[in-house]
Amino acid sequence: MKSIDLFAGAGGLSCGLSMAGFSTILANELVEAHANTYKKNHPNTKMVVGDVRQVCEINLKQKLGLKHGELDLLAGGPPCQGFSVNAPIRDLDDERNHLFKDFLRVAAELLPKSILIENVPGIVSLGKGTVVQQIYKELINLGYSVEHKILYAGHYGVPQTRFRTIIIAVKGKKRISFPEPEYNSTAVANFAGSKELCIKLAPLFAQDLLPQTTVSDAIADLPIIESGSKNEPIEYASKVSSKYQSLLRGDSRLAHNHSCNGLGKINLERLKHIPQGGNWTNIPHEMLPKGMQRARRSDHTKRYGRLHPDGLCSTILTKCDPHWGAFIHPTQDRVLSVREAARIQSFPDSYLFYGSLPQQYEQVGNAVPPLLAQRIGEKIMETIG
């Protein structure tokens, strides 16, 4: 089945959709470094580098040899910075919140069999729900059935506390379904309202699920490295010790992108005081940054967090910075490497990241977890048959 991926980033969504059986024939990404990573991992996909408006100006049907309704899936995640619950400004005047309109322009031109829009949970409450209402209105007017839910990545084997809003539209009058949870994983939703859109695990149902994928399941086979080290492809530290490691390693013989940001001397000293599962409250008061010396112990509970091997990772962000969350390695005094972050996002080890180290972290952090994308893709494929 053929798909198009707009706002594609480094290609997490396309990676997962390809595992579900979709072939992405065209992708678009604004940032050249991200597009370069996408192109090297998806050499058979036509890439349009630049603003999505450039895609709108192309005669896509002619360029791709498609007729109305022939494309199986139009997918994408319009940039979500303006929607994020962490953003200081969340209103309809943010021009980034209007990019979904360009996505819908492409949908109106191609009229694909199905449409997938992914975004942060904050999109649901943005403008008191008017953004999602507008998306529904536009798609229904084009002849689609539409549904949306907030999916939790841990339910699909991803070892992090990541929630995403998923909007699925299918041409005609069809019943839309979302992938059922497969793993017994739970997390506290860190967004206000709309929690009724999340799939909840019934206690009796939960005992039939697989145990959640842990941090250790994800990264225990990767070698020890120094803080701030920039490493060439490096041998694995051990044989695989989990199904998750086996799945992601595949046929890879070396670990690529296993490099990490460095920390200053004072931060390295702070890390020595933090146990597994601990955070900034374990650091001696006099060693804390001045701002955090005035903080309540109940605040910022993820800051300077050291991951517990038997637990989950925080949502992977565009920087694995201890000031931002729990990104300290369980047993080594350093932050997660790019490859470890990619593992926690569920990227295969064969998926390589290019550009500077900050660009690689950003590419991983902005991505849709491929395993989540795969499960959604499989459900869409069942629906459009």
- Which of 8-17, 91-100, 295-304 bottoms out in mean pLDDT, i.e. has the lowest? 91-100
Cα–Cα nearest to 315, from 358, 251, 260, 372: 372
The average pLDDT across 229-249 equals 97
Residue 203 in this model has a pLDDT that exceeds 90: no
Give the pLDDT confidence of 142-166 residue by residue, as tens digits.
999 999 999 999 999 999 999 999 9
What pLDDT, on a 0 to 100 scale, did the predictor assign at position 91?
56
Q: Could you say which DSSP state residue 99 is in? A: H
The average pLDDT across 193-211 equals 81
- Which of 63-72, 125-134, 268-277, 288-297 bottoms out in mean pLDDT, i.e. has the lowest? 125-134
Residue 133 pLDDT level (bands cut at 50, 70, 90): confident
Using alpha carbons only, how large is the chain's radius of gyration in Å?
21
- The answer to whether 126 and 90 are in contact (CB under 8 A) is yes
Q: Which two tokens mark 346?
A: 């569920």
Residue 247's Cβ-side half-sphere holds a number of Cα atoms within 13 Å equal to: 15
| Domains, in order of start, for the chain | 2-203+369-384 (3.40.50.150)
Q: How far apart are CA 352 and CA 329, in angstroms?
A: 21
Residue 313 pLDDT level (bands cut at 50, 70, 90): very high
What pLDDT, on a 0 to 100 scale, did the predictor assign at position 162?
94
| H or E stretch at 164 | strand 163-171
What pLDDT, on a 0 to 100 scale, did the predictor assign at position 343?
98
∠ CA 255-258-260, nearest 5°, is 175
Q: Which two tokens mark 150?
A: 């907030």
Residue 60 pLDDT level (bands cut at 50, 70, 90): confident
The average pLDDT across 62-84 equals 82
Active-site annotation holds for 313: no
Q: 3-class secondary structure for 104-117?
A: HHHHHHHCCCEEEE
The catalytic residue among 15, 56, 80, 320 is 80
Residue 87 in this model has a pLDDT that exceeds 80: no
Residue 97 pLDDT level (bands cut at 50, 70, 90): low
What pLDDT, on a 0 to 100 scale, did the predictor assign at position 85?
57
Residue 66 in this model has a pLDDT that exceeds 60: yes
